[in-house]
């Protein structure tokens, strides 16, 4: 996948928006909500950019159906670039910005993070200063590994994504794009306490066991001390999946690889979708109900004593697979989890990771407290 030219809203980009919308319709079984008057679709609530935490992490509670994520290099001083990004984001989300071409901002969110190189240069002991190690099943070139800045754009209206990102790249020309990826979320199923989880391109319900309450978010997601307080550590992994090979399995074999029922999301160990996986449950003849190499077992946090990660996977059409995104208080939570999965996870046998990076999603900001100012100072 080649990086697009900086700031160009190309015909391909707009066609990509339509392509993502079409895939979303196929997976979701419904038209995306546009959030604009006169379209005949229901408007969506605006999500404020300003606050103690950036939007696009825990706000809105149900993640929007469309995502565009882009990774950049930055050779300039971060403070003024980040401050300008923050101002531009607030202007876009407030609505009526000419860059959105008359389309209502709706539930548009833009979330910004910085890579380990930038963090380590100013605060080497801060969360976010460490990079990801290399793992098995990776085919990643230099362009698609790491990066200095990540911008995550989410909305229910897919047309907003390239418009918003193009405007941000135009107002911050110091950013040099490495790569970008679109993703969509399929139809959602209720899990618990207002938490919903979508189906992914494999047909399974994804993101069932995640932190949802304020206390869980405080324990598992939000950094609570130092210059990064209010931020979180993001991991991004683009995984190409051999869909034909997975689909060639019987439904029972697919469920054994995942560890959950495809129809309901319930764990093979028993109970309903909201019940925790029982790692000790056995059949009458002594076999584990949850296979030893099932993804739900290998990715479970209990065996490694790790907290839950806020995981969001977006299905991809080009390339076919999943864009995995997780947020956590410590990078080692993800690293230890993937190391355990790499030992024996039936689902990983169908995946190849082609892009990867970790970023410190910056603390919240407002017009008087610039984006990134707690780490890099005011511009």
- In this structure, is residue 242 part of a structural domain? yes
Beta bridge partner(s), residue 311: 326
Q: How many domains does the chain have?
A: 1
- Mean pLDDT, the chain, rounded, equals 90
- Tens-digit pLDDT profile for residues 78-118: 999 999 999 999 999 998 999 999 999 999 999 999 999 99
Percent of the chain at pLDDT exceeding 70: 89
The neighbour count for residue 289, using CB atoms within 10 Å, is: 17
CA separation (Å) from 214 to 195, 207, 309, 327?
13, 18, 14, 15
pLDDT digit string, tens, across residues 320-360: 999 999 999 999 999 999 999 999 999 999 999 999 999 99
Q: Judge whether 90 lies within some domain.
A: yes
Length of the chain: 379
The answer to whether residue 2 sits within a structural domain is no
Residue of higher predicted confidence among 189 and 17: 189
Does 3 fall in a domain? no
Which pairs with CB-CB distance under 8 Å and at least 24 residues apart come from 22-25?
Answer: 23/184, 23/315, 23/317, 24/65, 24/66, 24/158, 24/184, 24/185, 24/186
Q: Quick check: is 27 in a domain?
A: yes
> Partners of 314 in the beta sheet?
323
Selection from 190, 150, 168, 191 nearest residue 327 by Cα: 150
Domain that holds residue 351: 11-35+43-376
Confidence of residue 193 (pLDDT cuts 50, 70, 90): confident
Is residue 5 domain-resident?
A: no
- Residue 4 maps to a domain: no
Please indicate, yes or no, if residue 118 is contained in any of the structural domains: yes
Whole-number Å distance between alpha carbons of 162 and 13 = 7
Say which DSSP state 269 is in.
T
């Amino acid at each position: 996948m080649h990086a697009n030219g900086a700031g160009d809203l190309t015909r391909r980009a707009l066609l990509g928006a339509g392509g993502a919308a079409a895939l979303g319709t196929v997976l979701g079984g419904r038209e995306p909500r546009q959030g604009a008057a006169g379209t005949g679709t229901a408007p969506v609530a605006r999500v404020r950019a300003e606050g103690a935490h950036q939007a696009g992490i825990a706000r809105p509670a149900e993640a929007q159906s469309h995502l565009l994520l882009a990774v950049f290099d930055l050779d300039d001083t971060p403070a003024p670039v980040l401050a300008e990004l923050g101002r531009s984001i607030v202007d876009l989300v407030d609505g009526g910005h000419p860059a959105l071409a008359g389309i209502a901002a709706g539930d548009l969110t833009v979330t910004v993070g910085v890579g380990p190189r930038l963090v380590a240069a100013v605060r080497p002991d801060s969360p976010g200063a460490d990079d990801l190690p290399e793992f098995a099943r990776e085919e990643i070139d230099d362009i698609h590994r790491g990066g200095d800045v990540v911008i995550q754009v989410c909305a229910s209206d897919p047309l907003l994504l390239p418009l918003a990102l193009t405007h941000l790249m135009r107002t911050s020309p110091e950013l040099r794009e490495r790569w970008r990826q679109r993703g969509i979320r399929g139809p959602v199923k209720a899990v618990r306490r207002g938490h919903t989880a979508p189906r992914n391109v494999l047909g399974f319900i994804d993101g069932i066991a995640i932190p949802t309450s304020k206390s869980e978010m405080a324990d598992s997601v939000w950094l609570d001390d130092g210059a990064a307080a209010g931020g979180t550590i993001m991991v991004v992994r683009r995984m190409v999946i051999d869909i034909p090979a997975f689909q060639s399995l019987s439904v029972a074999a697919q469920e054994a690889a995942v560890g959950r029922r495809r129809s309901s999301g319930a764990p093979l160990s028993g109970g309903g979708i909201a019940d925790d996986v029982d790692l000790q449950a056995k059949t009458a003849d002594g076999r584990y109900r949850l296979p030893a190499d099932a993804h739900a077992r290998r990715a479970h946090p209990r065996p490694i004593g790790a907290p839950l990660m806020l995981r969001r996977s977006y299905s991809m059409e080009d390339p076919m697979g999943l864009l995995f995104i997780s947020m956590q208080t410590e990078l080692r939570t993800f690293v230890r989890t993937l190391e355990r999965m790499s030992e024996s996870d039936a689902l990983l046998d169908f995946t190849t990771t082609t892009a990867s990076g970790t970023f410190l999603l910056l603390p919240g900001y407002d017009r008087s407290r610039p984006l990134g100012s707690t780490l890099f100072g005011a511009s």
